[in-house]
A and B are shown apart, each in its own frame.
Chain A
Amino acid sequence: MTRPDDLFVDASAYHPPGKWEARAGNLLVLVVAGLLLLGGWMFKDWMQDQFRYLALAEGEIAIPYPPAWALQSDPTVDFRVVDPTGPGLFPAREEVRILALPEMPQPDAWTLQRVAALDDYVELSHKTLALGDGRPAALLEYAYAVKPPPDQGASLVAVHAIDLAFPARYEGEEKLVVVTLAAEASDWDRVRPTFQRILQRIVGKSVGW
């Protein structure tokens, strides 16, 4: 007796797909991969927009910093976090200094301090702006040279930095708060988007630099 299987042979299932069928399958794979990567891009943007905050005082501006960056103690600054994935000689960093309010206008006072403190200081741009609540602030972009420790065996490192200086209340007193965002000049392009996000959060709008 003939089995039904032998009578009804599904020939099409054992035949290679046609050219257009193969192309459609290929296109669907590309669509799936594209959708996943689009989701990945949105996830990356969302992750890069996640910050921890350094609170100065109740109701005062909170200073954001990347959550993955490592806290580093340094007596010359009040707060510093460094990018653990940055170059070994001078990893990208965010520093906060809380200083007494100067007598002279803030931008000039802070520029003079930087000129005095840094080697081979070169000012790249200098402008004043207003924070979201109308407070005046100074934005200073500059470059300088850092000499690494002798055991590192490297020559001078060129550093690109931006300072945002503004008055803020801290422990009941009016102070000058300076947020410094710095990185090796060769690493600047990589960390620039992160720095832009930090400044945008402090200033309350996009900062053109």
Chain B
Amino acid sequence: MSPDVSIHDIQPDDLRRIARNRRSFWAALALTAVIILGAGMVAGGGWWGWSQALSETLVWALHVGAAVAPGLVWLGFFALLEREDEGGRRVAFLLWIITAALYLVTVQPLLARVFQLDAWLFMGWWADILADFLIVAPLEMLLVYLILRYGVYPGETMRRLVDGPLFGVASALGAAAIVSLIAVWPNALFTPDDVLVAGERALGYAALGGWLGYALARNRFSRTPGYYLPGVFLLVVSLHALFYALVRGAHALAFAAPLYSGLVTAAILALLSFALLAWRVRKRNRAFLNMAARVEIAQERERPPSLLGDVLQMADARAFEGARTPPPPPPTSPTPPREEDELASLKRSWEALIAEQEEKP
């Protein structure tokens, strides 16, 4: 923390702008989570009576649709609810697309060819968790982090604290779309499991991306300790491993639980995470608003006395009063005022001004 920052460097209006929330973002997030959960339960319950006689092209289209649907549903809700900020909607959509494209050309080849996960990953649950913590989560979360850090952090795109979670969710949902697509692509049939997998991925990645975006936004708008960003990154990576360990655990109980138990677990964890994130954002926003009020008071108190300013203020006040009071009647004898009287008047005014300044606290 550099000691040369004073309250005069902070603009209360900037703090109020940062603290403005986006209800549309939270509403879109909650609606999407509910829709994903509902669709998963409908699909998992087999209410549609899945037809297996689908053409290869239709299966391909359904796989792509299931993978990208959660992100597009969220973006759609956000676009509908957020009517003021067209720029925010556009940036969110661009982040979704860019993250998906970059995931496909960077993270996926690294996982498949460099780390060769397919060759050894399914050796046991402990290998899954360790591989997730040491390889998959760092690569995926690093991609989201770098896109946010170099895409929206430096400029004026991120204008509010809540923009961090907003852009984090958009970016993470782009990654989730490709992760889901890779998971369901090899399947020859379109099954309820494909919908469930896409839903689980979307909910988990949205929750993790939200936290990463929040940390970046907080770091963008207020000074944080040096360990803050790396600490949050490590926490998000750990949560990634924990999240999918719990979801896999729920899947392992599939013999005794409904097919959608993994999705329900993911939805509960994601909704808890969103609620916690919303609480943190609200708390920080309040802190920003309180700070804005305090800065105003402090700036007012610490403003150095300016004689010239006060003279101008008095002159303004006089002019205002003069405008309200009727002009004095014209002098009956147009004798010019004496020079001694003018000097005496000026001296009186000066003394009155000095006395007024001394009286001020």
Q: B residues within 8 A CB of A68?
A: 119-120, 122-123
Question: In this assembly, does A152 line the interface, its C-beta being within 8 Å of a C-beta of chain B?
Answer: no
Question: In this assembly, does B221 line the interface, its C-beta being within 8 Å of a C-beta of chain A?
Answer: yes
B residues 219-249 in Cβ contact with A at 8 Å: 219-224, 226-230, 233-234, 237
Contact of B226 among A13, A28, A190 (CB under 8 A): A28
Question: In this assembly, does B343 line the interface, its C-beta being within 8 Å of a C-beta of chain A?
Answer: no
Identify which of A31-39, A102-110, A137-145, A170-178 touches chain B. A31-39
Question: In this assembly, does B157 line the interface, its C-beta being within 8 Å of a C-beta of chain A?
Answer: no
Instruction: Assess whether B226 is in contact with A24, with CB atoms less than 8 Å apart.
Output: yes
Instruction: Assess whether B135 is in contact with A190, with CB atoms less than 8 Å apart.
Output: no
State the Cβ distance, B120 to closest chain A Cβ, in Å. Answer: 4
Question: In this assembly, does B134 line the interface, its C-beta being within 8 Å of a C-beta of chain A?
Answer: yes
Contact of B229 among A6, A26, A40, A50 (CB under 8 A): A26
Whole-angstrom distance between the alpha carbons of A9 and B115 in the complex? Answer: 50
State the Cβ distance, B283 to closest chain A Cβ, in Å. Answer: 14
B residues 185-234 in Cβ contact with A at 8 Å: 219-224, 226-230, 233-234
State the Cβ distance, B289 to closest chain A Cβ, in Å. Answer: 11
A residues 169-209 in Cβ contact with B at 8 Å: 190-191, 194
Whole-angstrom distance between the alpha carbons of A36 and B294 in the complex? Answer: 42
Q: B residues within 8 A CB of A24?
A: 226
A residues 46-68 in Cβ contact with B at 8 Å: 47-48, 50, 66-68
Identify which of A14-22, A123-131, A153-161 touches chain B. A14-22
Please classify the interface of chain A as helix (H, G, I), strand (E, B), loop, or mixed, using the class held by over half of its residues. helix
A residues 73-131 in Cβ contact with B at 8 Å: 83, 85
Q: A15-B222, A22-B219, A29-B229 are in contact. Are A36 and B138 (CB under 8 A)?
A: yes
Identify which of B5-13, B252-260, B266-274, B315-323 touches chain A. B5-13
Contact of B115 among A16, A40, A67, A85 (CB under 8 A): A40
Instruction: Assess whether A29 is in contact with B233, with CB atoms less than 8 Å apart.
Output: yes
Q: B residues within 8 A CB of A21?
A: 223, 226
Q: A13-B222, A85-B119 are in contact. Are A43 and B135 (CB under 8 A)?
A: yes
Instruction: Assess whether A29 is in contact with B145, with CB atoms less than 8 Å apart.
Output: yes
State the Cβ distance, A48 to closest chain B Cβ, in Å. Answer: 6
Instruction: Assess whether B10 is in contact with A44, with CB atoms less than 8 Å apart.
Output: no
Instruction: Assess whether A25 is in contact with B291, with CB atoms less than 8 Å apart.
Output: no
Count of chain B residues near A, Cβ 8 A: 50
B residues 289-340 in Cβ contact with A at 8 Å: 291, 294-295, 297-298
Whole-angstrom distance between the alpha carbons of A184 and B350 in the complex? Answer: 101
Question: In this assembly, does A5 line the interface, its C-beta being within 8 Å of a C-beta of chain B?
Answer: yes
Since A12-B2, A44-B115, A44-B120 are in contact, a sample of 11 more A-B pairs with Cβ atoms closer than 8 Å, ordered by chain A residue number, is: A13-B222, A14-B10, A14-B221, A29-B145, A29-B229, A33-B138, A36-B135, A37-B135, A37-B138, A37-B139, A66-B120
Question: In this assembly, does B149 line the interface, its C-beta being within 8 Å of a C-beta of chain A?
Answer: yes
Instruction: Assess whether A33 is in contact with B142, with CB atoms less than 8 Å apart.
Output: yes
User: Which of chain A's residues has its CB closest to B130's CB?
Assistant: A43
Q: B residues within 8 A CB of A32?
A: 230, 233-234
Question: In this assembly, does B131 line the interface, its C-beta being within 8 Å of a C-beta of chain A?
Answer: yes
Question: In this assembly, does B49 line the interface, its C-beta being within 8 Å of a C-beta of chain A?
Answer: no
Instruction: Assess whether A194 is in contact with B119, with CB atoms less than 8 Å apart.
Output: yes
Residue among B15, B237, B297 with the highest chain A CB neighbour number at 10 A: B297
Q: B residues within 8 A CB of A5?
A: 294
State the Cβ distance, A94 to closest chain B Cβ, in Å. Answer: 13
